[in-house]
Amino acid sequence: MVDSALWISTLTAGTAVMASWVTSRGTARAAQIQAATAERMQRSVHVSEARRAAYVSLIEQAHKMAELYWAVSDIHASGGSRAEQVPALKEIRVGLREAYSRLRHCIWVISLEGPDDVAEAAETLRLATRPPYRVLDEAIADDPNALTAFDQYYDPFWQSLLTFVATARVAVHNL
């Protein structure tokens, strides 16, 4: 009887040790999975926040440029003399240069943050700033028809901004 009691107690102890080992392995694996999941989630949130901030910065900067473009149209619509218009146009050109510099910085950040389709839309927006700026330079350089042509270049700029916003929205929601 003593031999069978010893045998049963050894078997019970062995089973308890084995069950404890299996449980600890399962718990450790579950902890690893949970940590990996939390890390992926944290990275996803970080990427999403970084992208969203970059996209918002570009949109804000594009709006500042749009306001300057509207000011050019307002100057043209005012019908003032060339002597009155040129200093105001030169002031706007300085503002556009500063705004373009910040816009370009935003585009570089977006190129880094991605994804590629959003970076391409941002680059298209940047390229859409060229024609209005060239026409503004022509107006300052005494081309009498330049300001009349200016408004036709505003719409492609605005459309490229709307395209960027739509592309960025999809990218943010698909993260």
What is the CATH classification number for the domain harbouring 71?
1.20.120.30
Distance CA 33, CA 103 (A): 42
Chain centre to alpha carbon of residue 59: 9
Q: Which tokens sit at 76? A: 């043209």
Is 15 inside any structural domain? Answer: no
Is 28 inside any structural domain? Answer: no
Mean pLDDT calculated for residue range 9-31 = 78
Q: Which tokens sit at 114? A: 């991605």
Is 7 inside any structural domain? Answer: no
Question: Binning pLDDT at 50, 70 and 90, where does residue 1 land?
Answer: low
Instruction: Looking at 79-115, list the stretches that DSSP marks H as alpha helix, in order from N- to C-terminal side.
Output: 82-113
Is 159 inside any structural domain? Answer: yes
Q: Which domain holds residue 62?
A: 43-173
Question: Binning pLDDT at 50, 70 and 90, where does residue 2 land?
Answer: low
Is 63 inside any structural domain? Answer: yes
Mean pLDDT calculated for residue range 90-110 = 96
Q: Which tokens sit at 159? A: 């459309």
Give pLDDT tens digits for 108-160. 999 998 899 999 999 999 999 999 999 999 989 988 788 888 888 889 999 99
pLDDT higher than 80, residue 19? no
**Count of domains in the chain?**
1
Give pLDDT tens digits for 29-71. 877 888 877 788 888 888 889 999 999 999 999 999 999 999 9
Is 119 inside any structural domain? Answer: yes
Fill in the DSSP letter of residue 174. T
Distance CA 67, CA 148 (A): 18
> Can you give the pTM of this predicted structure?
0.78
